[in-house]
Amino acid sequence: MASIRILKRDINNVLGDIIEAVYIVEATQGSEPTQEGSAIIDKAIDTFDTLIAKVNDKEVENRRKHLKEVRKELETEATALVGRINKLEA
């Protein structure tokens, strides 16, 4: 059970950091919040909801494999969102 708690904490921390990064980028540029920044935040929130729902799904056949796939999906989604943040900075 501890690994599930850690996975949930990782999901929260990673996606929370991504949302915070959007705010920091927009604040350092001195501009109003952009539509792209808002879209990144919305995507991070949707990803959070989806991943937490997958972690809480107890009716999967191989729970360990399922959780590894959730962790991999978190990594993939986070990488994509960071790429979008980097485009905001340009």
* Ramachandran category for residue 76: left, alpha or beta (phi over 0 → left; psi -120 to 50 → alpha): alpha
3-state DSSP helix/strand/coil percent for the chain, to nearest 5?
85, 0, 15
Half-sphere exposure of 66 (CA within 13 A, CB side): 14
The per-residue pLDDT for 32 is 78
Integer-rounded Cα Rg, in Å, for the chain is 15
Of 1, 18, 19, 11, the C-alpha closest to 72 is: 11
Domain boundaries, the chain: 2-89
pLDDT in tens, 58-90: 899 999 999 999 999 999 999 999 999 999 876
- For the whole model, what pTM was predicted? 0.90
